[in-house]
Amino acid sequence: MLFTELGLSAELLRAVEKQGYRTATPIQQQAIPLIIDGQDILAAAQTGTGKTAGFTLPLLQRLQQQSDSGNQRPRVRALILVPTRELAAQVSESVNLYGRYLPFKTAVIFGGVSINPQISKLRKGVDIVVATPGRLLDHVQQKTVDLSGVQTLVLDEADRMLDMGFIRDIRKVLKVLPKQRQNLLFSATFSKDIRRLAADLLNRPTEIQVAAQNQPADRVNQVVYPVDKKRKRELLSHQIGAGNWQQVLVFTRTKHGANRLAEQLSRDGLKAAAIHGNKSQAARTRALANFKAGTVRVLVATDVASRGLDIERLPHVVNYELPNVPEDYVHRIGRTARAGQEGEAISLVCIDELPLLREIEKLLKSKIEKELIPGYEPDPRIKAEPIQKGRPQRQQRPGGHRAGPRNKRSGAPNNRGGKHHRATRGRQRAG
């Protein structure tokens, strides 16, 4: 189905054409007319299916139809909640691209950066807010954002938000929104928790499911390279060089592991950078921009990047270490083969990770092809060792900010540091 058949305005069709798109994806074909019609929807949409345009285009269409032309200062009429900074930036970029020929103003709100520029932009008036829950609640508490006029609420990657412990924050946000509004919930899975949230949030929703859950895109070629743990970095460097891979996204389980691997690859002569939750937002933005521009050849990431990184025509994703949660495998490899492109997902699997591999194959309901690389065959004498899951994370503040130290007696927040502590408490984010 062509975009011209979906009832979109001339301004939106012009923006879509500017992006080089003519044919709508299945999620777009089903969601766009329903959203324009004002219905609540519950949609299962895997990463890379075009779901962002699936809710952004009709959202802009409805704002255009309901435009408050008499208002000199725009009010927030659409709120899009997302789990991570990267996804917030990506969604905001999509809103701006598709709304380029419309007069609507957008603000993107997340932690890890100064709150003051965000306050300044909100004071000037915006129509659409894209936000992570924690920083949005900071604005609500400081009364720097007015959500009383929100007509449409979008929860994007809702399952990820629940996984990250945002349900309490989401419910706090819901309390300050108008009761009468349109609700759109997008999730990669329909778990019991998602069903429970949908029952509380949505009003007689239309359910959309365009593909089998937890299944990667058809155009992803998946392969496992069995290799000893100590030879993974050597094999990765070899494959990048032998295959002349120019753009490779590599996933590790830990932040420390991401830093170490990026340093090792750089010593191997491969321009590499790491991206994870302990990096400042400026460093994360810079690393991603350099990777997209081609000045960084290898981007090493933790699962903070498995959703929210939209890299056009990314040819190679590598699981340097398999994830502890099988569903994260699908989200990781969903960074490639986007928008109808083909891609390759390689997993370097040592003997310790065979149980994780079996869980992934169980989820996929299929075996992943195994390929031995000559010279890197695993040593059969090596015995499996338990995988260290890492230290438990400290409790998160809303939106992913780490909680400050607590009073040992009362359990209440320790306010040592006075004004400085209060001023900076929302600027760090785990992940």
Lowest mean pLDDT among 60-74, 155-169, 234-248, 287-301: 60-74
How many domains does one find in the chain? 2
Identify the domain boundary among 352, 370, 388: 370
Domain boundary residue among 325, 340, 370? 370
Tell which phi-psi region holds residue 257, choosing left (phi > 0), alpha (psi between -120 and 50) or beta.
Answer: alpha
Average the pLDDT over each of 98-107, 153-162, 177-186, 367-376 and give the range with the smallest value: 153-162
pLDDT by residue (tens digit) across 417-429? 343 333 333 333 3
Residue 86 lies in a domain: yes
Average confidence (pLDDT) over 289-313:
81
What's residue 405's pLDDT?
39
The residue to which tokens 């408490």 are assigned: 425
- Residues 151 and 245 both lie in one domain: no
pLDDT of amino acid 209: 83
173 and 229 within one domain: no
For 107-128, the pLDDT digits (tens) are 999 998 899 999 999 999 999 9
* pLDDT one-digit tens code per residue, 256-267: 999 999 999 999
Tokens of 257: 């592991």
Q: In this structure, what CATH number is given to the domain that contains residue 57?
A: 3.40.50.300
Q: Are residues 83 and 128 in the same domain?
A: yes
Q: How far apart are CA 45 and CA 31, in angstroms?
A: 11
Confidence of residue 216 (pLDDT cuts 50, 70, 90): low
pLDDT higher than 80, residue 406:
no
Higher pLDDT: 277 or 386? It is 386
pLDDT band at residue 189 under the 50/70/90 scheme: confident
- Is 22 part of any domain? yes
For residue 212, pLDDT over 70 is answered with no
302: domain range? 220-370
The domain boundary residue, chosen from 174, 209, 244: 209
* Residue from 25, 23, 17, 24 nearest 218 by CA: 25
Identify the CA nearest to 318 among candidates 254, 260, 259, 247. Answer: 247
Please indicate, yes or no, whether residues 200 and 236 belong to a single structural domain of this protein.
Answer: no
Judged against a pLDDT cut of 60, whether residue 213 lies above it is answered with no
- Segment 342-352 shows an average pLDDT of 93
User: Is 90 exceeded by the pLDDT of residue 164?
Assistant: no
Q: Give percent of the chain with pLDDT exceeding 70.
A: 83
pLDDT for 135 beyond 70 = yes
Decide if 408 is inside a domain. no
Q: Which pLDDT tens digit goes with each residue over 1-51?
A: 899 999 999 999 999 999 888 999 889 999 999 999 999 999 987 666 788
